Amino acid sequence: MAQVRLRDLNKKFDGTHAVKDVNLEIRDREFVVLVGPSGCGKTTTLRMVAGLEEISSGDISIDGKVVNNLAPMDRDIAMVFQNYALYPHMTVYDNMAFGLRMRKFERPEIDRRVTHAADVLGIQPLLERRPRQLSGGQRQRVALGRAIVRNPRVFLFDEPLSNLDAALRVQMRVELKRLHERLETTAIYVTHDQVEAMTLGDRVVVMKDGTVQQVGAPLELYDRPANRFVAGFIGSPAMNFIGATLAEANGSLWAEAQGLRVRVPPQKAERLRRHAGQRVVVGLRPETLRPATAADSDYAFDATIDVVEPLGSEILLDVRVGDSPVVARVDPGLRFSARERVRLAFDPARVHFFDATSEAAI
């Protein structure tokens, strides 16, 4: 149980600035997920917390104590690696006991802890096996077990699920969440998968090019993305972006693009009026779109259907608005066909606007 604090954290490798001025405060027992595309610095950040990577500048403190110069073994953390990093020449039991033996625990205590962890993870029958005799999911559990036997102050996870197949990944995701609720240990989790980030994190940190883009609860990121990158990264299918110009007409503000003229909702108009006459980007989530009715006139636009993707629980419509591609997620009961013209309406409360140059949310 511990707080972790990163202050002005930087990492420079020869010629590249991998992590730039990262500031982050992780509360006791919190599950924080670092998410971003590959090369965004999330794994490097995690490795600096672990002590596997030297810090170029800035501080990392655990429970108020700066750990910059502490060896990994002295930080009281546990880490689960992407490739599990199980010791191939040891049995499952020895793999889990290794950390305790290194820390000079008494034999009965080691036995008690390993047995308990194996119970929790359901790997009791595998204790005498070697890693090569285990399936991917079982190896994953052993790696988790090796981390939890030590009761560390902080858990670090480096893409622990990305080597598993899709079905197993969903299952382990749920188990991880359950495990965290049960153990109540501070955890930092790195992934490139936004679904994992959204489902596991108490808070999610979105990173890009070494900088933190936004920190917030999953739904906060989804509902109020700080910039275009976060908006496009969180949510699947991704948010639609349409470049438009703001114009004032009939006392209200309109976003205009080729084949599109929609009203800026009154609650947003106040902030957007400063940008009148300028380029902006309109962001529409696929799930906020639906076929229009007569009442929607100001918040609707015409589109041509390119492709219809019936997924059973929903239909994805790939349409064109002017020359921008847009994806809409609509009710599976509706019938559409390619080349058809369709009028789509959106929920005015859930439309986003971004500055065209800074890409920040307006």
Partner 1 sequence: MIEGARWKKWLWFYLPLGAFIVALLFPFYWMVVTTVRPDGELYRPWNHPLYSPFWTSHPTFEHIRDLLQETLFNTWMLNTMFIALVSTLISLLCGVIAGYALARLTFRWAGILGTAIFVTYLVPQTLLFIPLAEIIRDYHIGDTPWALILTYPTFLIPFCTWLMMGYFKAIPRELEECARIDGAARWQAMLYIIFPIAVPGILSAGIFAFTLSWNEFIYALVFLSSPEQKTVAVGVTSELIRGDVFFWGSLMAGALIGSVPVAIVYSFFVEHYVAGITGSVKG
DSSP SS3 for 274: helix
Min separation Cβ 9 and partner 1, Å = 19
Options 4, 55, 84, 159; binder of partner 1; rule CB under 8 A: 84
Which range of residues in 78-86, 213-221, 307-315, 318-326 is near partner 1 by CB under 8 A? Answer: 78-86
Q: Applying CB under 8 A, does 289 fall inside the site for partner 1?
A: no
Give the largest Cα separation in the chain, rounded: 81
Q: Which helix (H) or strand (E) holds 200?
A: helix 194-200
Strands 186-191 and 154-158 turn out to be: parallel
Q: Contact 262/299 with Cβ under 8 angstroms?
A: yes
Q: Contact 39/52 with Cβ under 8 angstroms?
A: no
Min separation Cβ 74 and partner 1, Å = 9
Options 66, 73, 174, 217; binder of partner 1; rule CB under 8 A: 73
Q: Is the Cβ of residue 51 or residue 286 nearer to partner 1 in the bound state? A: 51
Contacts for 256 with CB less than 8 Å, ≥ 6 apart: 244, 245, 246, 247
Which range of residues in 11-19, 23-31, 71-79, 297-305 is near partner 1 by CB under 8 A? Answer: 71-79
Options 26, 77, 198, 262; binder of partner 1; rule CB under 8 A: 77
Q: Applying CB under 8 A, does 88 fall inside the site for partner 1?
A: yes
- Determine if residue 159 is left, alpha or beta; phi over 0 gives left, psi from -120 to 50 gives alpha, anything else beta: left
Q: Is the Cβ of residue 2 or residue 78 nearer to partner 1 in the bound state? A: 78
Options 15, 69, 71, 166; binder of partner 1; rule CB under 8 A: 71
Give the DSSP per-residue string, 67-106.
Answer: -TT--GGGS-EEEE-TT----TTS-HHHHHHHHHHHTT--
Options 41, 131, 216, 235; binder of partner 1; rule CB under 8 A: 131
Options 1, 66, 102, 217; binder of partner 1; rule CB under 8 A: 102
CA distances from 104 to 70, 97, 114, 169, 350 (A): 20, 11, 15, 35, 57
Q: Applying CB under 8 A, does 83 fall inside the site for partner 1?
A: yes
Q: Applying CB under 8 A, does 13 fall inside the site for partner 1?
A: no
Distance CA 132, CA 136 (A): 10
Options 12, 23, 28, 52; binder of partner 1; rule CB under 8 A: 52
Phi then psi for residue 215, to 5 deg, are -125, 130
Min separation Cβ 350 and partner 1, Å = 43
Which range of residues in 75-83, 177-185, 230-238, 239-247 is near partner 1 by CB under 8 A? Answer: 75-83
User: With contacts defined by CB under 8 A, how many residues of the chain interact with partner 1?
Assistant: 28
Within 203-311, residue ranges assigned H as helices are: 218-223, 228-233, 266-272
Q: Applying CB under 8 A, does 141 fall inside the site for partner 1?
A: no
Q: Which helix (H) or strand (E) holds 150?
A: none
Which range of residues in 32-40, 94-102, 178-186, 343-351 is near partner 1 by CB under 8 A? Answer: 94-102
Min separation Cβ 92 and partner 1, Å = 13
Q: Applying CB under 8 A, does 168 fall inside the site for partner 1?
A: no
> Strand (E) positions, the chain?
4-13, 16-26, 31-35, 57-62, 65-66, 77-80, 154-158, 186-191, 203-208, 211-216, 240-249, 252-257, 260-263, 279-284, 289-291, 300-310, 315-321, 324-330, 341-346, 352-355
Which range of residues in 84-92, 214-222, 238-246, 295-303 is near partner 1 by CB under 8 A? Answer: 84-92
Options 4, 24, 50, 205; binder of partner 1; rule CB under 8 A: 50
Token pair for 72: 């990994």
The tokens 């609720």 sit on which residue? 181
Q: Applying CB under 8 A, does 145 fall inside the site for partner 1?
A: no
DSSP SS3 for 319: strand
Q: Applying CB under 8 A, does 78 fall inside the site for partner 1?
A: yes
Q: Applying CB under 8 A, does 103 fall inside the site for partner 1?
A: yes
Q: Which residues bind partner 1 (CB under 8 A)?
A: 50-52, 71-73, 75, 77-79, 81-89, 98-99, 102-103, 131-132, 139, 146, 150
